[in-house]
């Protein structure tokens, strides 16, 4: 029997909330592991003697970017800036609304709905409106793994929470009561999964023996009855990162950059992401972009395989056949043969 726990009350304010960093540059937020955090704050570089040992690096002008946001269940509009990765973005949103950052499950772009096609990944259009989905009601259900595959595609928010991106129709999880797309997978058999990446969660689900029953605890995003929440006038955005408009590309390491999306790259990463779903039951745009970058520099499948093995991707244990499939998608994209992305794959965990 499913067990429900208490939900959270909606916040209600009448004024516009403005983050006090709205005039900062996109990369101004200090980062403990970022070598740029020690740069001078004067807006330019300092010039020392040629033999000086303390010549600071010249500062590169950075775009001053601000984004509008709301909590998806309803809130005043907030203005955020000064972030360079997803974790810092979530912290800015949390500071804006005076809530713990741990309350934020994920963000969508240009819609308050739980729409996985609008999920915030590694890129944000400069005109996109951000909606933050926060924790709602916890749910706990018992699931019997009667088949090898549960029928889930899992992604994560880049800040410690894995959640359900897709549920295959007719699958075990499709038949499980109260489990839904957007639910954060918090625990399996009492073991906390907070802080785990999506592939780690997928591996744990895959390792559950067929025929056994396990307890799954999820947390759904907070919902409300508001139907007219929407971006402020002039900030609608297209939600299409392949439209040629400038986007802010977020990285787990290094500074964020403003880029004009390349259609070839978008098509290639979409195809790679679908292959990742087929092989691992996960969805990760940043991982797909990393695979593309390795493949873009390779001249043949052998070079690509060596590049994968020599990178951090070795931890995923890709099979030779899967690496060859990845190379096929990459070579097709490089040669212009990849015109469309297959939509449906069977999850393998």
Q: How confident is the model at residue 59 (pLDDT cuts 50, 70, 90)?
A: low
Nearest to 79 by CA among 121, 161, 24: 24
Structure tokens at 172: 């075990």
DSSP code for 80? E
Under 8 Å between Cβ of 305 and 318: no
Q: What is residue 258's predicted lDDT score, i.e. its pLDDT?
A: 61
| pLDDT of 129 above 90 | yes
Cα distance between residue 120 and residue 98, in whole Å: 21
pTM: 0.61
Percent share of the chain, pLDDT over 90: 32
Tokens at 215, concatenated:
């307890």
pLDDT digits (tens, 9 = 90+) for 148-205: 889 998 988 888 899 999 999 999 999 988 899 999 999 999 999 999 988 899 889 9
Instruction: Give the H/E segment covering residue 138.
Output: strand 130-144
Question: What does the alpha-carbon distance between residue 8 and residue 103 come to, in Å, rounded to a whole number?
Answer: 11
**Residue 225 half-sphere exposure, CB side, CA atoms within 13 Å?**
0
pLDDT for position 117: 86
DSSP-assigned beta bridge partners for residue 191: 188
Per-residue pLDDT of 327-346, as tens digits, reads: 888 888 877 765 443 333 33
* pLDDT of 299 over the 90 cut: no
Query: In degrees rounded to 5, what are phi and psi of residue 117?
Result: -80, -15
C-alpha to C-alpha distance for 120 and 81, rounded to whole angstroms: 16
Coil, helix or strand at residue 156: strand
Lowest mean pLDDT among 6-15, 190-199, 277-286, 322-331: 6-15
């Amino acid at each position: 029997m499913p067990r429900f726990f208490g939900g959270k009350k909606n916040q209600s304010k009448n004024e516009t909330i403005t983050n006090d960093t709205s005039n900062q540059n996109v990369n101004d937020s200090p980062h403990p592991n970022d070598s740029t955090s020690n740069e001078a704050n004067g807006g330019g570089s300092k010039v020392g003697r040629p033999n000086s040992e303390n010549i600071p690096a010249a500062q590169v002008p950075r775009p001053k970017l601000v984004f509008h946001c709301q909590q998806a269940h309803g809130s005043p509009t907030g203005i955020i800036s000064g972030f360079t990765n997803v974790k810092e973005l979530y912290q800015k949103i949390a500071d804006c609304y005076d809530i713990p950052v741990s309350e934020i499950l994920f963000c969508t772009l240009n819609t308050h709905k739980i729409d996985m096609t609008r999920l915030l990944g590694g890129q944000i259009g400069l005109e996109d409106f951000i909606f933050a989905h926060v924790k709602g009601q916890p749910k706990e259900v018992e699931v019997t793994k009667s088949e090898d595959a549960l029928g889930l595609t899992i992604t994560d928010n880049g800040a410690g929470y894995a959640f359900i991106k897709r549920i295959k129709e007719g699958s075990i999880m499709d038949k499980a009561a109260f489990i839904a797309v957007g639910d954060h997978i918090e625990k399996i058999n009492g073991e906390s999964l907070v802080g785990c990446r999506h592939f780690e969660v997928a591996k744990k689900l895959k390792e559950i023996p067929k025929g056994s029953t396990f307890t799954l605890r999820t947390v759904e995003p907070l919902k409300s009855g508001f139907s007219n929440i929407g971006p402020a006038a002039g900030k609608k955005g297209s939600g299409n990162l392949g439209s040629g408009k400038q986007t802010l590309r977020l990285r787990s390491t290094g500074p964020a950059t403003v880029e004009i999306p390349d259609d070839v790259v978008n098509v290639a990463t979409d195809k790679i992401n679908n292959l990742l779903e087929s092989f691992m039951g996960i969805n990760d745009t940043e991982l797909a972009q990393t695979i593309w970058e390795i493949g873009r520099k390779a001249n043949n499948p052998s070079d690509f395989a060596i590049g994968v093995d020599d990178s951090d991707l070795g931890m995923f244990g890709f099979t030779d056949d899967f690496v060859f499939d990845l190379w096929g998608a990459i070579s097709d994209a490089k040669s212009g043969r990849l015109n469309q992305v297959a939509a449906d794959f069977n999850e393998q965990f």
